[in-house]
Amino acid sequence: MVESRIRILKIQDVLSLACGKKIPLDGHDAFHDLFLALEFENSLKRKAAFDHPLYHQFETQVLKPNAQKIEVLEFEMDPGKDVRFS
């Protein structure tokens, strides 16, 4: 999680980054499930961030060696609507 903050927040197009890991429930082992939530101003900035050399370096040095499965989900917020107070 620390490594993702150090590397990804250096990319100017990333507005914010949230990361965390799964909490094991009822004594069951969690296999260090990790999520990263990145926020961008628009889809062009998202594309530019994923094409950035720092992201490629993060992906090859951190994600791929340590992940069995990577799933990418993309969500679009309502344009022009401030969702902080909804």
pLDDT of residue 51: 95
Q: Is the pLDDT of residue 66 over 60?
A: yes
Query: Residue 20: phi, psi to the nearest 5?
Result: -170, 175
- For residue range 9-27, what is the model confidence (pLDDT) as tens digits? 899 999 999 988 877 777 6
pLDDT of residue 52: 95
Q: Which CATH class is domain 2-85?
A: alpha beta
Q: Which residue has the higher pLDDT, 26 or 8?
A: 8
DSSP string, 12-55: TT--EEEEEEPPP-TTPPP---EEEEEE-SSHHHHHHHHTSHHH
- For residue range 30-51, what is the model confidence (pLDDT) as tens digits? 566 888 889 998 889 999 999 9
Q: What is the mean pLDDT of the chain?
A: 82
